Structure 1
Amino acid sequence: MSIRINNARIIDGSGKPSVPGGVRVENGLITHVGTDLPEADETIDAKGRVVCPGFIDTHSHSDLVVMEDPFILPKIRQGVTTEILGQDGVSMAPLPHRHIQAWRKNLGGLEGESDTLDWGWQTTGGYLDRLEQGGVGTNVCYLVPHGNVRMEAMGLDDRKAGPNELRLLQAVLRRELEAGAFGLSTGLIYPPCTYADKAEMEALCSVAAEFGRPLVIHQRSEADTILESMAEVLDIARSTGVHVHFSHFKICGKNNADKFERVLGLLDRAADEGLKVTIDQYPYVAGSTMLGAILPPWAHAGGTDRLLERLTDETARARMLRDIRQGINGWDNFVAFAGVDGIFVTSVRTEANRDAIGKTLVELGEMRGKPPLEAALDLLLQEENAVGMVDFYGLEEHVKAFMARPEMNVCTDGLLGGTPHPRTYGAFPRVLGKYVREEKVMSLEAAVRKMSGKPAETFGIDRRGLLKPGHHADVVLFDPDTVRDQGTYTDPRKHPTGIDLVMINGVIVHGDGATKNPTPPGKVLRPGE
């Protein structure tokens, strides 16, 4: 089957100026790009729209959902054709049998829950095989999650790794990278990753560097101690040679706005030194994660079951509340930088608490007749920690400045459950509509590069991210005059306007010509394939 797209404005993902022409696709590959394209079985008149490579979401949380529903429409409908899973150090594999129940509870706030899966894959290789067996709608890549590696090697306790455990951590990571992962991820605010010291990170990053794979990092602090946090990460890059990719880069808390120029200075210094440093970003001033992140790290030690025990203990609860109100040096205190009126509940496990969805912690407290933080702790206990949240963290001028940085590419960081953050449905069209067309933060060509060619280079994804003969036919057709996100924080489940066609490996999955209920056309990608 061959398809020809004519009369388009070609933006090829390289950053070069657009040119008129089109693209021809056959058997899942791009055969021609330009004008005077050969005949094809089907011709699509693009009528002056932009044709470009499919977008690559470098921070995705579709890891569990894709196993039950291969077509993640919130991603496909915004032009995403490849997703990078395994984020924040907390994901699906490795997962030894002995840890399944504890880990499912730890995972619930980020990836959701499932009672239909058997959870028996154990390793990254097993997980990727399972994805291939079930089929995937988009292409997917996987990062080895630090938390899973740590759990296999030394459990969920709050302690430092000894010499033998460091060697075991390295062995597990090496095994998982060899199975086809694109890098190592960590979330140093999430248990058990948060219990790792710099020596542990250096040991793991030395293995990632051996493979030429990146460290994808939610750093220890994006708030009060962001400068110290970045310094630690850049020191690790210097000592190990690892490529550092900062996840969802931002400065949290308006009280930290004075650190902005120094943050930029650290990025500039890294570039001057020749360190390989990249970042991704979602284009909003609010974030989204699991509500359990408002608790101090010690509360999570030993896993979710131990957390739930502490939430029932009056002394432990009092300590949690005291630490939230007073803070702990080096800990990102979401309540301090977003406020109880700037944190919204987005998802829960049970029907009993469904009325909490969409409510701030202030409103939750009013509904439950308790102070906001007490009500939040009760909710975490009742829902066994599987609660999502949106938190308003920062300043619009910072979003624009980081977006324009040469290190930056676009991501969604989209959680799919409950009432999600609007980025899940609209991050990429928001950049094209709000920040390119309306606010002119960058050119259209630069934006498309940050959505396609640049992330493909950053993660070493072969033959994707560019419109080029011989590359895989991941293609998007959009209207630059109408493309825009539509979701809001109160009504986020709205698909964008202006994304007219999405093609994955030569199969149209959205737009005119899309086949109803096709075989999932995505591929499970591995480095070098």
Structure 2
Amino acid sequence: MWDVVFQGARIVDGTGNPWYRGDVAVQDGIIADMGDLPPDCAKERVDVQDRVLCPGFVDLHTHSDFVIFRDPVMVSKLCQGVTTQAVGQCGQSAAPLDSRYVGLLKSYLGFILAGTDIPWDWTTFQDWFRTVEKLPLAGNVAAFVGHGTIRAATLGFENRPPSREEMDHMKALLREGMDSGCFGMTTGLIYPPGVYSSAEELIELAQVLKETGGLYFSHMRNESAFLLDSVRDTINIGRQAGIPVQISHHKALGRDNWGLVTESLRMVDEARTQGVDVTIDQYPYTSCSTSVRACLPPWAQEGGIGETCARLKDPDTRQRVLREMEDSMDTGKPCSWESMLRNGGGPAGALVTYTPHTPECEGKSLEEIGRAMGRNPLDVALWIIEKNEGCDLACYDAINDDDVRQVLRHEATMVASDSIPAAPGGKSHPRSFGTNPRVLARYVREEKTLSLESAIRKMTSFPAARLGLHGKGVLRPGMDADLLIFDPDSVQDHATYKDPARLASGITSVYV
């Protein structure tokens, strides 16, 4: 007799195949049988009532590295059906730590700390895994090595190539992470210190991934005017190193770049026909989210947040920063760096969501804050950075909905949240609580951009296969019983930019 049988389900098995009615039996956390099963075959019977039964969702792009310490249940994930998540994205991972640069590393990781009290009692990834294993986690966590973290742990925030000795040290740190159980390396090439790295540096590190069977996930160097160059560079790393690559949260930022995804997706198709294993992930929103520091030119961020704040105290340097911020918003001129002010349409399109030392700013745009304070909103951005010492977040209204649909439909795209759940009382991007239900409600039920089966494949078997999680992502005897029950007619995201932590509805049960 099995432990539990789920009966009367509309089974969407995660493969993309059409749904069918049937039952699923589970024994010791493993799917034991499927089909038309008798009701007395198990100790417990769950009547699914013709709702959808599918694999638990796999979110392969999150920033929960530290959030799991204050919320090991990960309510934001479980309540939208996510049973497995991958951390260490955009070049930022919780390990390794180096005592010489621990202060810099803490400031670098500030906006993904999100108000979490951390023991900081690890040095290596092996140490971090041991610490995490002690947490009462309700879901599964996969980890990546952050390129920015290993660079900062080797040469701080210096804007220069690593020496031979430093390069070897970075490779050793990456190898330690891979040997400890990480799935690959990620980059955040708009953020210091990743922004200071060359293609040659990344390709050399990618050789370690080749040797250890790792993946390369990239927040590319540019997602706006130089999007196509960045896609080409990312594909080239996969080609040169012979490794699988993933373009993280693919989009074209800024009104003057909308539509570029048509060509970027064509480039992905072409690379795949040439044998380069390149895929994409995406969140289904028209605003991106990152730090307020992303409004600053890269040179102003050299050396970490301490040196940034010191520069801003010098009147001449502050004026130079303000001039470059202002110039970056002129879409009639080229901009050599990824300016979120430009991409988001200026201060009106920059919604401040997390500023623990200036909470009065949360939920307001830079323009609104500037008007209330009687200050230039660009100078307000600098003030926020100084007051919060770089621990801040904002949403930027920068993405076109038609582009979202086009990327979502692409066969190489999987759904991922890029989420950082806010600290208690704070705000964040609604994707932290709404990504998967939003796809099911808006892009499946309402707009029919995707079929139900295709959408679930992009959230289950596809990301599970990308990570090499052979026991997850598909309903089949012998697979892990990470299961989700939801009503396709009522599932709905409710998280908004003003109220980003509202739980979705229509998701009945989640089993891990």
Q: What is the TM-score of this pair, normalised by structure 1?
A: 0.92
Question: How far has the Cα of 1:279 moved from its partner?
Answer: 0.8
User: Unaligned stretches of 5+ in structure 2?
Assistant: 329-333
Matches within 5 A, 1:382-393: 382-393=387-398
Q: 1:118: Cα distance to partner? A: 2.3
> 1:102 deviation in Å?
2.1
CA drift at 1:347? 0.6
Say if 1:220 and 1:330, in contact at 8 Å, map to a contact too.
no
RMSD of aligned alpha carbons: 1.4
1:362-383 alpha-carbon deviations (Å, 9 max, x no partner): 0111122101000110111011
Q: Is the 8 A contact 1:4 1:43 kept in 2?
A: yes
Equivalent residue number for residue 347 of structure 1: 354
AA aligned opposite 2:472: R
Deviation at 1:97, TM superposition (A): 2.6
* Residue 448 of structure 2, aligned match among 440, 454, 465: 440
Contact 1:425–1:487, Cα closer than 8 Å, also in 2: yes
Match of 1:422 among 416, 424, 430: 430
Alignment of 1:170-249 (within 5 A): 170-249=171-250
2: CA distance, partners of 1:233 / 1:414: 22
- Cα distance, 1:301 vs. partner? 1.1
CA positional deviation for 1:21: 0.6
Instruction: Give runs of ≥4 in structure 1 deviating > 3 Å.
Output: 327-330
Question: Cα offset for 1:329?
Answer: 4.3
**Structure 2 residue aligned with 1:56:** 58
Amino acid in the other structure paired with 2:73 = F
Return the offset for 1:468.
1.4
Structure 1 counterpart SS, 2:119: coil
Q: Determine the structure 1 residue equivalent to 2:92.
A: 90
Q: Equivalent residues in 2 for 1:351-366 (5 A)? A: 353-366=358-371
In the TM superposition, what whole-angstrom CA distance separates every residue of 1:75-109 from its partner, at most 9, and x where no partner exists?
11000000100011112101123322222122112
Letter in 2 for 1:269: E
Superposition pairs of residues 23-102 of structure 1, within 5 angstroms: 23-36=24-37, 39-102=41-104
Q: Which amino acid aligns with 1:369?
A: G
User: Deviation digits for residues 464-497 of structure 1, max 9, x if unmatched?
Assistant: 1111111111000010100111111112221111
**One-letter amino acid of the structure 1 residue matched with residue 485 of structure 2:** L
Aligned-residue offset at 1:258: 4.7
Counterpart amino acid of residue 487 in structure 1: A
Map of 1:525 onto structure 2: none
Q: In structure 1, how many angstroms separate the alpha carbons of the residues matched to 2:41 and 2:149? A: 50
CA contact (8 A) 2:31 2:479 kept: yes
CA shift at 1:112, angstroms? 1.7
Paired residue for 2:503?
Answer: 495
1:508 aligns to what? none
- TM superposition shift of 1:68: 2.2
Higher mean C-alpha deviation, range 322-331 or range 65-74: 322-331
- Using the alignment, how far apart are the partners of 1:494 and 1:356 within structure 2? 20
Deviation by residue 1:140-178 (Cα, 9 ceiling, x = unmatched): 000000011112222221111233322222121111110
Q: Which residue of 2 aligns with 1:408?
A: 413
Q: Which residue of 1 aligns with 2:143?
A: 142
Do the aligned partners of 1:429 and 1:484 also contact (CA within 8 Å) in 2? yes
- Paired AA for residue 105 in structure 2: W
Q: What is the CA–CA distance in structure 2 between the aligned matches of 1:19 and 1:91, rounded to whole Å?
A: 41
The aligned residue for residue 312 of structure 1 is 313
SS of 1:30's partner is strand
Amino acid at match of 1:335: L
Mapped contact 2:261–2:407 kept (Cα < 8 A): no
The 3 A distance-change label for structure 1 pair 188 and 228 is same
Match for residue 398 of structure 1 among 383, 394, 403: 403
Aligned partners of 1:225, 1:261: CA distance in 2, in Å? 14
Contact 2:19 / 2:453 at 8 angstroms: preserved in 1?
yes
Contact 1:82 1:138 in 2 (8 A): yes
From the superposition, tell whether residues 442 and 451 of structure 1 become closer, same or farther in structure 2 (CA, over 3 Å).
same
What number of residue pairs does the alignment pair up?
501
> CA–CA distance in 1 between the matches of 2:313 and 2:139?
42
Conservation of the 8 A alpha-carbon contact between 1:288 and 1:415: no
Task: State whether structure 2 residue 465 is matched by structure 1 residue 457.
Answer: yes
Specify the alignment match of 2:492 in structure 1. Answer: 484
The one-letter code sitting in structure 2 at the alignment partner of 1:302 is G
Inter-partner Cα distance in structure 2 for 1:106 and 1:368: 28
In 2, are the aligned partners of 1:91 and 1:111 still within 8 Å (CA)?
no
What TM-score does the superposition give when structure 2 sets the normalisation length?
0.95
Once the two structures are superposed, what CA deviation does each residue of 1:205-227 show, in whole Å capped at 9, x if it has no partner?
11112222111110000001111
Is the CA contact 1:221–1:330 (under 8 Å) kept in the aligned structure 2? no
**Aligned residue number for residue 276 of structure 1:** 277
Kindly indicate whether residue 343 of structure 2 is the aligned counterpart of residue 337 of structure 1: yes
Residue of structure 2 in register with 1:324 after alignment: 325
Question: In structure 2, the residue corresponding to 1:5 is in which secondary structure?
Answer: strand
Structure 1 residue runs of 5 or longer lacking an equivalent are 505-529
Pairing 1:248-263 to 2, within 5 Å after superposition:
248-263=249-264
Amino acid at match of 1:363: E
Residue in structure 1 matching 2:480, options 456, 472, 476: 472
Cα–Cα, structure 1 residues 435 and 396, in superposed 2: closer, same or farther, change >3 Å?
Answer: same
Instruction: Note if contact 2:238-2:245 (Cα within 8 Å) is conserved in structure 1.
Output: yes
Question: Which residue of the partner structure matches residue 303 of structure 2?
Answer: 302
SS at match of 1:461: coil
Identity of aligned residues (%): 37
| Alignment-mate amino acid for residue 55 of structure 1 | F
Matches of 1:49 and 1:112 in 2, distance apart? 36
159-168 or 226-235, larger mean C-alpha shift: 159-168
In the alignment, the residues of structure 2 paired with residue 438 and residue 331 of structure 1 have an alpha-carbon distance, to the nearest angstrom, of 37
> In the TM superposition, what whole-angstrom CA distance separates every residue of 1:21-48 from its partner, at most 9, and x where no partner exists?
1211121111112221561121110110
Distance 2:181 2:382 in 1: 39
